[in-house]
Structure 1
Amino acid sequence: MNFFKRLKESVSKTTESVTQKFKSGLEKTSSSLAGAMDSVFSRSKIDEEMYEELEDVLIGADVGVNTTLEIVDRLRGEVKERRIKDPAELQPLMSEILADILKGEGDSSDAAMNLQENELTVVLIVGVNGVGKTTTIGKLAHHYKEQGKKVILAAGDTFRAGAIEQLQVWGDRVGADVIRHQAGSDPAAVIFDGIQAARARGADVLFCDTAGRLQNKVNLMQELKKVHRVIQREIPDAPHDTLLVLDATTGQNALQQAKIFNDATRLTGIVLTKMDGTAKGGIAIAIRRELATPVKWIGLGEKMDDLQPFNGDQYVHALFAEMIEREEAAE
């Protein structure tokens, strides 16, 4: 069966509203990346020039050099093995390769959140300032409140001006208690109090905000390690998830941030925000391949429910939606 058909069958198992969110949220990326691929695969023959043009398209979409070379090498191998002569046949094959990369290898941690049964789940949210970290926490709190979970927020970003107040606004908006200290307080102390409050109030999930930049000479990564130690002292197997929030519009800079945080903390997943604001959505592919860390959430708009659990098939289907519809119409 053509991979486009299998992809559509997979996507059809989710709700139409989710599929539409992916399609509309990734419209810029689809128009840029898939549109450029369409042009490449419209060539008259498969030759070295076509492969070079494809490399340019992928690198230009923030897929990254290493991942691009791997993708093109895999495509070459499939072309040779299947004896493909028509470039048009490469479109579904390309989508299959991308979907395979997004699934990853030997990794079963693709669930949106590692929720604990009948006990407190502690989620540490990290990332530099300006990526949408606090907004992400608010939207995650909304998501789990909608599922009937009791959620508490810990305002551990005590250094950025207005960060505590911003988280409080989100807490009031979604109906979640916020544990806070004064500006400039020790972040680890806030998280400690957050854990005690969450236990006392019978919370299901505690989301911990953290600093994205420090206004003193303490190294940010050392501060995060301190927070991590305090959490583990109280709950040995926590944090159950450490999610890095990245701004998708920053492209390869986001990948560099991911590498730095991954070296300092045990990341369990990535949250890609502002995907609807970039035409270079290939960064999701680069991060998944180069870090072997799953993208768990994706920001597809500004509405409360536009932060969605990441789904590789949905992502690829949204990228190639126009090609899939065109192929169906031709049948």
Structure 2
Amino acid sequence: MKTMTATATAALTLAFASEALATEWNVSLWGQRRAFTEHVEKLAELVEERSGGEFTMAISYGGLSNNRENLDGISIGAFEMAQFCAGYHRDKNRAITVLELPFLGVETLEQEVAVANAVYAHPAVQDEMAQWNARILMTSPMPQYNLVGTGEPRDTVEEFDGMRVRATGGIGQVMEAAGAVPTSVTATEAYNSMESGVVDAVAFAQHAHLSFGTIDIADWWTENLNPGTVNCPVVVNIDAYEALSDEHRAILDEAVGEAIEHYLLNYAELLQRWDEVLLEKGVQKVQVDQAEIARLRGNADPIHQAWIEEATSNGLPGQELYDLTVQAVADNAPE
């Protein structure tokens, strides 16, 4: 019977050790690869490259969970990383919904990142996420939402009255205050809802109007309504994060900044092409009069105050979180 040489034994031991050190994370997204997911794609690329292939991410677009259940999946360890939007389940992530309040005054994606990071760092946010075994890794910055719709353009508060609109979070609230009828159908359901006439308009950022096809059947787009945006963090399962080797955890953490920078550059290119898309699709650009926007903005203050009171009643430092958000918006205003 032949025995293994010392060299062969060492090689086999090294192979087993390498295999044991290899880590693959499952990542739950939805829809398709688009500007909204580019930072996750870039993160996976950087992590694999910098770990020499020992830490990889298998990204799934809807194959692991639907978008409303990604936080639940993280909580039970069904996958290690996921993206979700706060407006899909406000009761599960009340603290970060402060970032979805209407007319906060955020002007750029860079400012959006800074404001989100300030809020994510608050202990109340971290504690609430920990209830779902989740740790926020990074945000998914999106520009101010605007409406695409069918039929005649709607550009006054009176014309919003009775309008059925796909709008979540604070955007839905401010539209409701103007008499519209908001619905929170998911992004993947928006096209069918608009095509079938279930909704008259859809509030999205530009990338989503492109990715989910709403721009293809739209007649008009509000160029400057800018009522707010939604907040969609990327989270990791705490147990999986803590189980990483020190080296892999450092690689992951250090790749976040570069992934966000890639996202911002990619989104800037998309915005440069937006006018061409509207022209190609035959979509009318609608400029809403500043007096009408002011009327809408006047509905925001009671919504902000109601958020503070509700958050406080739920045991959160509502005023503190709100003040932190407003201060972060001011501190990071573009020059």
TM-score normalised to the size of structure 2? 0.26
- TM-score under structure 1 length normalisation: 0.26
- Indicate the structure (1 or 2) with the bigger Cα radius of gyration: 2
